[in-house]
A and B are shown apart, each in its own frame.
Chain A
Amino acid sequence: MSASAVFVLDLKGKVLICRNYKGDVDMAEIDHFLPLLMTEEEEGLTCPIMTHGKVHFLWIKHTNLYLVATTNKNCNASLVYSFLYKVVEVFTEYFTELEEESIQDNFVVVYELLDELMDFGFPQTTDSKILQEYITQEGAKLEVAKTKVPTTVTNAVSWRSEGIKYKKNEVFIDVIESINLLVNANGSVMSSDIVGTVKLKTMLSGMPELRLGLNDRALFALTGRDKGKTVAMEDVKFHQCVRLSRFESDRTISFIPPDGESELMSYRINTHVKPLIWIESVIEKFTHSRVEIMVKAKGQFKKQSVANNVEVRVPVPSDADTPKFKTSTGHAKYVPEKNLAVWTIKSFPGGKEFLMRASFGLPSVENDEMEGKPPITVNFEIPYFTVSGIQVRYMKIIEKSGYQALPWVRYITQSGDYQLRSNF
């Protein structure tokens, strides 16, 4: 690992805030960062790692900030990137939006956080839940609320403090699946997968012990049951609270949940599913005069379900003008700054088919620059439904005091990276 220093820069390369952890790299080296980046951008060869002399810059970009870690060692690069993303995650939890302004408004907290996240180039406490317990944004609050050292820093259960109390004990479980899809211009599905997450909002007193039951195929195979629909999950990732050893031995998901909102697990399913919203498009370009676009959207899911806030984004040439739209439902508009025609349908029942026609004028003088062929992208959200058919079978909540708690479950399917290539 070992990052020597971490910098937060604005888009002009000015250092907003920095923290020197090891002192083995000259802090002035950061001045070379932006010039290097500029030359690389000119050559079209940007790369997340750059070298100047003996110093390596590993950087990520977030909104209007660059986060840069410097090192002069042959360190583990992917770990450094993970750390930088962790920093972004923690800052975002603190300031809801991480951007130049939020850094400038919170210098003190940022310094304190940078202190706690890393020491001497090694990541230390990186869990934002724990950090929030002893680095608070309002100094006054601390005086009143905290008179003890947060046990979490020393605790065995580092993600939950003791003595949490709620009047009404409830757990909200959100099962969210997003669909990534890539369809070729000739209509064949190149790749499709489902990335699912199970999110928790825990409002439980004390130190409850939770057990989550899913219709996991591996579990059913293990116990010999074979009824109903099961789901084979891949790449299952858990929040650190889940006892991995138990999951590995008998696929039970048991844990002491962190308080408040958290992401319990994520998984990926590789099975091919029928694209939920299928798009057929015909884009005809009459050079020097106009572009005619015809888009047909078809809901290929159960009739009972309804997709909400469907947004079909169709790319148009950058020099298009005078948009005209005709839609069978919803409304369409031209977003010139993004070179898109966006067709919005508030509610889209399953099995239905809708049509949009658009025409744009083109200037008689042709644009010399070559334009890429951006794909059509679709955003949507289908509540009360999961594509994979995953289900929460039970959620058991056991606490010493023996209170009754209610689990609430909600399913949502939404679009992830949903791209259909067009052939205009």
Chain B
Amino acid sequence: MLRRVWSIHRCYGKGCSPLLSWTTLTTIFLQQLLQHHFMAPVSLYFGIPTKESSGEEQLQLSLPGLCEYVEQPLTVGLKDKAACVRRVAVLGWAKIHSLLPNSEIDAAIVNELYGLLRDPDPVVMVNCLRALEEILQEEGGVAINKPIAHHLLNRLKECDVWGQSEVLAILQRYRPRSEDELFDILSLLDPSLLSHHAPVMAATLRLFLSLCATLPAVCLSALERVRGPLLAAAGSSSRELRYAALCHIQLLLRSDPGLMGEHYKRFFCGYAEPPYIKQSKIQVLVELVNDDNVGMVLDELKGYCTDVSMETSQAAINAIGSIGRSYSERCLDILTGLLELKQEHITSAVVQTLKELVWLSPLCGDAVCTALERWDDQLQDAQGRGALLWLLGVYGDRVSGAPYILEDFIAGVRSEVSAEVKAELLTATLRMYLSHPAETQDMMGRLLHYCIEEELDMCVRDQALLYYRLLHCGIEEVRRVLQGGRRSDLSLGPLIGRPPEPISQWASIFNTLESLTLGSSTVVNSDPSTPTAYTPNINTLMSSGDPDLTACSHGALSLSASPSLSPEEFERLWLQPEKGACLEAGVPCPVPSCSSESLQVALQLVNIQMLAFTPANKHPWKVYIYTHSSNTFISEGSRRPSQHLTSDGSRTPPQTLTSEGPRTPPQTLTSEGSRTPPQTLTSEGPRTPPQTLTSEGPRTPPQTLILAELLQVDREREEEPEERGKKGGVLVRMRQYPGDQTVLTGFLSVLTTVLQTLSAQPDHTHS
């Protein structure tokens, strides 16, 4: 280092301007001073002392005084003749700022940095942007006015790829004054959209999307334009860049599902590709299936089912299952064919997929029955066993050999570890008893005896007791409880298909770190005490500054329906109440008599999204809704997919209640009777202490995801709790991730207002 400084010094010393040699001399003087006084190897470079020594080192030496010495050469460095000195000097100011965050950087310096944006050296220009971004962090970063924006745009071509990405990212903050200006900028940026350097292309697209947030047609055509470069990036030789491109493609497909349709072959996996790439390619392939290519895609996916990596093969099987929702016949052939392989992990994944598939397309039932008829495998993992038991319970009446499979399970119940499997076994056995009473009666007795007398898990024991008492009530009662809704009800809610999402839902995370973590299951926070482990700097996130995000505010509380939540996600979150806060409350107003559609519209007005509802005139009336309070980001974090997405036995939320009540304790309580007086606010005390957000700075309001279930309070139970008073109240159960009671009560008041407004309208039903 010293050597280089000396050589620089020598050349500048030879007849360059005296200013320069003075700079270098100061440098060397400073270096000697530092080495003598602190005995620390603080090297210097080009007159900029901060570069070599790490920030911490300097802070440990507590050198605020030193900064005084540093500032002077830095100031001189800004005016230096050589671009390399200016480059370092500019960033030097950013370093001083981060070393001494409390000290104000002189306004003159800031002005000078703004002035250096006009520097002939492009790296100096970009470094100025970077430095100002750091220094002015609190004011929201470097201010971009029209002249600066145009200057940056004009010089974009001179920058290297790093600089271009930086400039494009910062330009997102600029809002063109007029439509003409906007289109001038767009046409100037258009070539970069086709840049073959993937990060530049992605940065340009992000800028496009933020500039054209109000012009969806332009956005969509921009997506078309980047298709080529993006596909090229997805075939890049570096696997990490390939992965990043695939994640971005997945984002794009959310808004434009047909974008990559004809290029599906580009997403076929090579043998040696790592599992994470294979899995994201499989996810993309599922999106791309259409009538023309379904054969090819399924053939290809079939090949992946026998992949050496268990996760990849499971992902492929799940993918076939999801394709099966629209092309059930071919997929069922493949899935049942896979059972022949007798590979345990494949069989287990297939059973889980079948369970999923049968629920969504009940017509597949026959194929499942044939497969069950020939069943002779042993499954080791709990999820697979659970799924098999569920299938046996639901389709037991059509499979003659089913009781014998069940018998093996009951014989081995003592060695069964998983409580879930035991609970599933109880339900399946009881259902089997209804269809095959003669074969099942004896083993059911044994099972109930074991579960009530010896079982240690309270949930299982309670469930067994419940069934035992239920049997006392007579076979008709059992049938009514267990058979109702065991197969999917096709009239149920808007659960099929997924409309293209608006681009604004993902534009803010495009080309960031977050877009890569969304698709993977690896960013699971193992520590439940910090619900928001994933908090990247809000500044980078907010820099997209999407003002058009629909967020409406209700007093202190602002709700937003985006990002949307899939029914599976809803269900998964709903079934793990311990992670968030819970609240139950009764709303003293009758069930709105209006149609579900008008309820949906009414809720959307206050940014609450309806996910599912019971068909008209069905009892009890039920609605599932969700919303996000305030900013969208943390809710993204809390919807990180878990690796056990389909691990739980039950299906879509409404079904959970009607048929599998006993498995989910909180719901059992109310279906049995009402031990929880619905009109008082009861937060679920001991089990789920309400968690408040920690470590959030004052600038960021807590952001949470709220799930809720509206449930009509049944008529038959009216007499028991006296305080309910009114007929047909609505019970609201809420879950919130991460928990915050004040937000929940705010949400409840919004909801109550809506419901009361609706029911105040003239109705002509029971109440």
Contact = CB atoms under 8 A, between A and B. Distances in A.
Contact of B3 (A20, A139, A184, A190): A139
Given A44-B311, A74-B512, A235 B196 contact: yes
A81 B169 contact: no
* Contact-residue bracket for chain B: 35 or more
Given A53-B533, A72-B537, A148 B11 contact: yes
Contact of A23 (B4, B56, B162): B56
Interface stretch (A91-99, A120-128, A327-335, A386-394): A120-128
Interface in A231-288: 234-237, 240, 244-245, 248, 268
B241 interface: yes
B634 to A, nearest CB: 12
Contacts of A50: 522-523
A83 B312 CA distance: 29
Given A49-B516, A81-B241, A126-B160, A40 B271 contact: no
A61 to B, nearest CB: 9
Interface in B163-178: 165-166, 169
Contacts of A182: 268, 270
B238 A76 contact: no
A370 B344 CA distance: 11
Given A46-B274, A82-B199, A22 B98 contact: yes
A78 B308 contact: no
Contacts of A361: none
Contacts of A119: 51, 87-88, 91, 127
B54 A23 contact: yes
Given A75-B513, A124-B123, A85 B265 contact: no
A327 B535 CA distance: 62
Contacts of A16: none
A22 B121 CA distance: 24
Contact of A47 (B91, B303, B520): B520
B512 A77 contact: yes
B521 A45 contact: yes
B537 A73 contact: yes
Interface string B484-527: 00000000000000000000000001011111110011110000
B550 to A, nearest CB: 22
A167 to B, nearest CB: 28
Nearest to B517: A49
Given A73-B540, A142-B3, A234 B534 contact: no
B343 A82 contact: no
A170 interface: no
Contact of B541 (A74, A245, A375): A74
Contacts of B275: 44-46
A109 to B, nearest CB: 12
Contact of B203 (A44, A76, A123, A149): A76
Interface string B144-164: 000000000000010011100
Given A120-B94, A139-B3, A149 B533 contact: no
Interface centre among B4, B520, B522 (most CB of A within 10 A): B522
B560 to A, nearest CB: 19
A79 interface: yes
B249 to A, nearest CB: 12
Given A51-B534, A417-B270, A419-B270, A78 B202 contact: yes
A235 to B, nearest CB: 4
21 contacts: A22-B98, A40-B522, A45-B522, A50-B523, A51-B534, A75-B513, A76-B199, A78-B198, A78-B202, A83-B162, A122-B91, A125-B123, A139-B3, A146-B7, A147-B10, A153-B84, A191-B266, A193-B235, A234-B232, A240-B160, A417-B270
Given A60-B240, A74-B509, 7 more contacts: A44-B309, A46-B276, A74-B536, A77-B512, A79-B165, A154-B121, A190-B268
Instruction: Report the 6 A-B pairs with minimum CB-CB distance, sorted nearest first.
Output: A23-B55, A74-B536, A78-B244, A372-B308, A123-B162, A237-B196
